[in-house]
Amino acid sequence: MATTNTTPAAPSYPAQVTGMDILVRALKMVGIDTMYGLVGIPVTELAYLAQGRGIRFISFRHEQQAGMAAATHGYVTGKPGVLLTVSSLGFMNGLTATANATVNCYPMIQISGSSVREPIDLEQGTYEGLDQLNIAKPVVKAAYRVNKPEDIPTAVVRAYRAAISGRPGGVYLDVTTPCLGAIMNHDDAEKLFYQPVDLQPSMPPAQEAVKRAVELIASAKKPCFLFGKGAAFAQVEGKLKKLVEMTGIPYYPMSMAKGILPDNGPLSVISCRSTIMEDADVVVLVGARLNWLLSRGHGKWSPDTKFVQLDIDPTEIDCNRPIAAPVIGDLASSLDAIIDLLPQYKLEMDSQWVPSLQKESAEKNEKFKERLSANASVNPMDHWTALGAIKPILESNPDVILVNEGANTLDDTRDSIDMSLPRHRIDCATWAIMGMGIGSAIGAAVGTGKSVVAIEGDSAFGFSGMDFSTICRFKLPVTVVIFNNGGIYNGVGVNMGKDGDPAPTTLDVRARYDKLADAFGAKSYYVTTPQELTAALTEAIASKAPALIDVQLGADSGKESGHIGYLNPTPLETITV
Ligand code: ADP
Ligand code: MG
C-alpha cells in the first residue's frame, strides 16, 4: 500500500486576545497616554503591554506617590490621570491618593488588579484577598468592578466619564485577575471598541442664574473675585483676565489659584485677605468652596457679604452660608455668559474701593519685603532666610512649576513666592495633607514637560523620599529643596518623660538628605547660607535634571502647625505629665 508522508496542515485557530490587551486598547481609545503605578501580581504584564503599546508607564517605589502623580497629572492636563496598583496593600496605598484626589476635585482613575472573587466573598483565605470595591466606595467619587473582558471598554469609558464629568474626582476601577487573564477571539474583541462622543461635555448655566449674578455684581460697591483651584483646573484664565479687565474688580486667589492672574498684578488683593472678608459687599467665588480654608463663610467674614458662586456642583451651594446668586455650570460656559451679559449693566463700584486696597497692598508688601531682608543674614538660616534667596530665582523663572508641602515650609513659601502663571503651584490643598510632594512633582513634570521645584519640609519629604529615585530613573527636570529644621514643625521638641527617646516632633537636624541624591546619581547640594542656596538652585534649575538641595535651617525655625495652630485641640504649652 502506498504511504503518504505529507504532514497534515496545522489547524488554524482564530487570533486571541486577553483581558489585558482589551484594557490597554480601551485606555488608548479614551486618549490615555500615561500611567503611574507599581506592579506585581496580577498587573505586571498589563504594565509591560501598556508600555509596549505606547502608554508611558512611570514606575514608582510606593503606590501613594504614584497616585499623587496621577492626580496631579489630571489637575495640570485637564484629563484623568491613571494609577495602576496591585491587589490588597498596593490598592490601599494607592487609595489614599485617590481619596485625596476626590476631595480636591482632581480627575483620576485608580485601576487595581484584585484577586479571584469567590474565596474573597466566602472569606476562605486567598492570595491578597480583599473586598477592594467596597473599601474604595466611601472615599471615591465612583467605583466599578469589571469581571468579564467583554465589559472592559464600557468600564473604562464609565470610569473616564465619572472622573471628569461634573465635579471631577477619583474613580476606582477594580479588574479581577480572571478578567485580566480571560481570553477572547480577536475579531469579537474588535467589535467592542468605539469612539465615545463628547467625553467632557460642557454644562452651560441657566440664563436666569446668570442674570441674577450679573445684577448683583453690577450693583456691588465693594466687589471682589475669589479664585479657587477649580478655576485653575478649568483653564479659564483667559476669560478671567477679560472679566477683570472689563470690570476693574480686584481678585483674591486661594493657594493653588495663585498665578491664574499674576499675584503681583495691579488688581491682585492677595495681601488684603482680612479686608476682603470684612469689607467686601459682593464676593464672586469662582471654582472655590466656602470651606474651612475660608472659615466656612463665618469668622472674619462680614455677615452682610453677599456671595455669587460659580460652580459645577449644585450641592455645593448654601453648604455653609446662604449664596445669593448661584451659577451652576462649567466655568468656561458660566464665565462666557457673564462676560456677554455684563456690558448691558452699569457697574456701581465705589471709586475708592480699589485705590484703598492698592494702598493696603503696597504697605503690606513693603512690610513683607522688610521681613525677608531683616532675616537675610540669620545664621543658621531660618525659613525666611532661605525663602529670601529662593524668591527672586523662582519669580524670574515663572514657567517652573512649584510644588510645596510642609507646615511652616508650606505657609511661608506660599506667602513669599509670587506666581504669575496658572496651575504652577501645587500643594497640600483641601485636606492640608502631608506626603504629596514627590509624587505631585513627578506628575507635574511628566504631565506638562516643564521643570519643577518641590519645596519640602524635612518631615513632609520623609513620607515620599524614596520616590526621589523615580525622579532619577526617569531623568525628570525636578529639583527637590528640603528645608531641614530637624522636625515636624521644628526640631526643638522636648521629651516630657524620662526614657530619652526623641520627642514626637523631633527628626534629625543633622540628616544629610543630599546623600540620598548621591545614592541615585542626582546632582546634590548641601547649603548653609543664602548665597550657597542661590547658587545651588540657579544651577539645579538650569540643568533640567534631577537635583536635591538640603537646606540646613536652625532647629528652632518654625512653630507648631504653622498658620493653623488654632486647629490643635489644646496648645502644647498647656500639656503637663
Ligand atoms: P480652593 O481650595 O482653591 O478654594 P476648591 O477645591 O475648594 O478650591 O473648590 C474648587 C471648586 O471648583 C469645587 O467646588 C468644584 O466643584 C469646582 N469646579 C471644578 N471644576 C470645575 C469646572 N470645570 N467648572 C466649574 N466648577 C468647577
Ligand atoms: Mg477651597
Spatial separation of the C-alpha atoms in residues 217 and 219, rounded to whole Å: 6
The confidence score (pLDDT) of residue 277 equals: 98
Ligand nearest to the CA of 234: 1
- Residue 431 pLDDT > 90: yes
Spatial separation of the C-alpha atoms in residues 514 and 523, rounded to whole Å: 9
Structural Rg of the chain based on CA atoms? 26
Spatial separation of the C-alpha atoms in residues 62 and 128, rounded to whole Å: 17
For residue 312, count CB atoms less than 10 angstroms from its CB and return exposed for 0-12, middle for 13-18, buried for 19 or more: buried
- Average pLDDT, stretch 401-406? 98
Q: How far is the CA of 429 from the centre of ligand 1 (A)?
A: 12
Q: Which residues of 190-221 are buried (b: 16+ CB within 10 A; e: fewer)?
A: eebeeeeeeeeeeeebeeebbbbbbebbbbbe
The confidence score (pLDDT) of residue 432 equals: 95
- Average pLDDT, stretch 88-104? 98
| Atom of ligand 1 lying closest to residue 226 CA | 4
Residue owning the nearest CA to atom 7 of ligand 1: 289
The confidence score (pLDDT) of residue 4 equals: 58
- Residue 1 pLDDT > 90: no
The best mutation among 79, 233, 433 to test binding of ligand 1, ranked by most ligand atoms within 8 Å of the C-beta, falls on: 233
Q: How far is the CA of 187 from the centre of ligand 1 (A)?
A: 43
The confidence score (pLDDT) of residue 77 equals: 98
Give the whole-number percent of the chain exceeding pLDDT 70.
99
The confidence score (pLDDT) of residue 468 equals: 98
- State whether the beta carbon of 233 lies less than 6 angstroms from ligand 1: yes
pLDDT tens for 226-278 read 999 999 999 999 999 999 999 999 999 999 999 999 999 999 999 999 999 99
Instruction: Please give the order of strands across the beta sheet that includes 523-527.
Output: 425-427, 401-405, 452-457, 478-484, 547-552, 523-527
Ligand nearest to the CA of 253: 1
pLDDT tens for 184-228 read 999 999 999 999 999 999 999 999 999 999 999 999 999 999 999
User: In this structure, which amino acid lies at residue 10?
Assistant: A
The confidence score (pLDDT) of residue 307 equals: 98
The answer, as to whether pTM is greater than 0.95, is yes
For residue 176, count CB atoms less than 10 angstroms from its CB and return exposed for 0-12, middle for 13-18, buried for 19 or more: buried
- Residue 441 pLDDT > 80: yes
pLDDT tens for 507-542 read 999 999 999 999 999 999 999 999 999 999 999 999
Residue with cell 506628575: 443
Q: What is the mean pLDDT of the chain?
A: 96
- Residue 3 pLDDT > 80: no
- State whether the beta carbon of 444 lies less than 6 angstroms from ligand 1: no
Q: How far is the CA of 288 from the centre of ligand 1 (A)?
A: 5
pLDDT tens for 63-89 read 999 999 999 999 999 999 999 999 999
Bridge partners (DSSP) listed for residue 455: 404, 481
Contact predicate 288/228, CB 8 Å: yes
- Average pLDDT, stretch 294-316? 98
The confidence score (pLDDT) of residue 8 equals: 81
Residue 6's pLDDT band, with cuts at 50, 70 and 90, is confident
Q: How far is the CA of 430 from the centre of ligand 2 (A)?
A: 6
- Average pLDDT, stretch 416-426? 98
Three-state DSSP class for 418? coil
DSSP percent split of the chain into helix, strand, coil, nearest 5: 45, 15, 40
Spatial separation of the C-alpha atoms in residues 33 and 70, rounded to whole Å: 12
- Residue 2 pLDDT > 70: no
pLDDT tens for 99-118 read 999 999 999 999 999 999 99
Q: How far is the CA of 283 from the centre of ligand 1 (A)?
A: 16
Spatial separation of the C-alpha atoms in residues 397 and 391, rounded to whole Å: 10
